[in-house]
Structure 1
C-alpha cells in the first residue's frame, strides 16, 4: 500500500481530477489524501457546470491542519494536477519543495491543454507551472501537446518527442509522455529516463470518457510501473467505451487485475 497526497481539481459527478485519481488508487488498496484546487459540479465539457476554485488561503489552512495532525508528511508520493491560477501553482511549488526535502516523491501532471484546442488554462498559469513547478518533478506526465508547449518544440515523431522529453529532465527524473505519436491508429506512452527510452503502444480508441490522464498519473504516483499502469488503464478504457464516465468502480474486478504491457526499446 502506498500513501499519496494529491493536489488537483474535484468534481461532484463523474471521474476527472481527484474524482478519477482517488477512486482508482483506492480500488488498488492505496491511501489517498485529497486537496482540491477547484470544486465543480462536473467536467466543464457538459452543458451545465457550477463551482469555483478553492481559495489558496483555504487550501493553506487544510495543509496546516494535516501537518498539525501528523499526516502531511506521512506520504510516499505527492501528485500535482490541475492548477486554476498562478497563486495555486505557487502553493504547489512550496508544498513540492517541502515534500522533496522530506524524501517524498513528487509527480507532476502538467494539466495545460490538449489537441486540437490547445491551452485551456490561462497563459500565466502555464508559464508559472513551466518555470517553477516542472523543475521540481521527480516524475512528469505530460501529454504530447503539453510536452510541446513546455519545450516550445514541434512534435510529430517519437524521435522529436524523446528529444523534447530529455530536455526537461533533471538528474534521476523521468518523463512519461502520454498520447505519444506511435503510428497510424496507435497511441501509447513514451518513457524517457536518462539515456534510456521505451515506448508502450496501444490501439487508439474512440468513445473514451474524460479522466484517462488523471488515472494514469495517479497509478504511476502510486508506484505502478508504466507498463502495469497502462495495462490496467487500457482495461479500464475498454470497459468504459461510450460510457458517460470511466467505470472505475463497476469494472474494478477486471481492470485492477490486468496484465502489464511490454515496452519496446527505442
Structure 2
C-alpha cells in the first residue's frame, strides 16, 4: 500500500541514530539501553556491536570483544545504506576497535558524534587499559561533538584524582577543557553528599549547569548510556547542544524517577526507558 503524504513526511522527520557499543545481556545498559532511549526520544536506532558481555543487574561476568573486521563490516553496512545523522559511542573494548571506529567515522563523517567514554566499572576497575585510553584520546576525542564522562571517567581521562567534593571541580574542569574535543559534559552523579545531581557543560570558556533532584533508588543501571543516547537523538532532531542536553537530562531524570515501577533482577535494576507508555489494562486485554 503506498504511503500517504503524512506518512511520508513523518518518516522523513524520523532521524536515524547509530549506537556503537557493547551488548548487555541483562538489557539495562549498552546497546540495549541505547536502542530503548533513542526509540523513546523520537529517533530510529541502528547499532554496531563492539563486544558481547555476560551481564545482569548484579554485575559483569565476562566480556568478549567482537573481531575488528566484523566491527568494520557492521559500520560499512549501516553507513552505506542508512542516512545516519548522529552517532553515540559507548563501550570500545580495545585499541584496535577504537582505531577502526575512528577510521570509519573519518570516512563517513556523520554530523554529530556523542562519545560516552565507558572506561571505569562501578567497582572502580578500569575497563580500558592505559594504552587504549591513550588511543581513545588520540583517535576519537578530536572527532567528538561531545564527550560525557562521569567523575571516575574524567579522572581516568585527565590523570587527576577522583573528585569527591565540589571544591575539586575547578581543577577537573580546567583539565577537561584542554582535551581535544568540541565540548565536555561532566556528569556529577557520583559526587557524594548532595541532594541534587548536577552536570556541567564545558564548551570553550563557557560553562552551563544542568540540575536535577536526586532520586532515592538503587535502579540506576544504564543511566550514562541512556543520557548520551538521548543527547545524540535530540541533536539529530535539530536541537542545539544545550537544548539537546536539557531535554535528555529531563528524560533520564524521569526514567530514574519511574525506575522502581519495574521489577527486574535482584541487583541494580535498569531505569524505566518507556515510562511514558501506559500498559493496557487487563480489562481491555480481555476484549481484544
Tell me the TM-score range normalised by the shorter chain.
0.7 to 0.9
* Structure 2 match to 1:261: none
Match of 1:26 in 2: 39
Tell me which residue corresponds to 1:232: 251
Change (3 A) 1:30 1:80: same
Q: Across the two proteins, how many residue pairs are aligned to each other?
A: 246
Match for 1:40 among 32, 53, 65?
Answer: 53
Equivalent residue for 1:90, pick from 82, 99, 102: 99
Within the candidate set 188, 191, 195, 2:198 is matched to 188
Q: Determine the structure 1 residue equivalent to 2:73.
A: 61
**Which of residues 103, 123, 128 in structure 2 aligns to 1:121?**
128
Classify 1:95/1:248 alpha carbon distance in 2 versus 1 (closer, same or farther; 3 Å): farther
Q: Mean alpha-carbon deviation: is it higher for 38-47 or for 221-230?
A: 38-47
Q: Which residue pairs with 1:78 in the alignment?
A: 87
Change (3 A) 1:87 1:27: same
- Please, which runs of 5 or more residues in structure 1 have no aligned partner? 255-266
| Superimposed CA distance per residue, residues 165-212 of structure 1 (whole angstroms, 9 cap, x where no aligned partner) | 211254xx2211112649634322111112210112233444133100
Paired with 1:51 and 1:147, the residues of 2 have a C-alpha distance of 23
| CA RMSD after TM alignment | 2.6
TM-score by length of 2: 0.76
Q: Distance in 2 between matches of 1:167 and 1:209?
A: 30
* 2:154 alignment partner in structure 1: 147
TM-score (norm 1): 0.81
Seen in structure 2, the aligned counterparts of structure 1 residues 144 and 50 have a Cα distance that, compared at 3 Å, is: closer
Are 1:208 and 2:219 an aligned pair?
yes
* 1:10 matched to 2:14: no
Q: What does residue 117 of structure 2 align with?
A: 110
CA distance in 2, matches of 1:114, 1:54: 20
Moved over 6 A (4+): none
Larger radius of gyration: 2
**In structure 2, what is the Cα distance between the partners aligned to 1:65 and 1:142?**
29
Q: Of the candidates 236, 242, 246, which is equivalent to residue 270 of structure 2? A: 246
| CA displacement 1:86-132 (0-9 Å, x = unmatched) | 111111111222243xx521111111115661423223222221222
Partner of 1:198: 208
Work out whether residues 256 and 272 of structure 2, in 8 Å CA contact, stay in contact via their aligned partners in 1.
Answer: no
Note the alpha carbon deviations across 1:18-43, whole angstroms, 9 max, x for none: 11011111122311110001123434
Is residue 207–residue 243 contact of structure 1 (8 Å, CA) maintained in 2? no
Deviations, residues 134-164 of structure 1 (Å, cap 9, x unaligned):
2221111111121122122334433223212
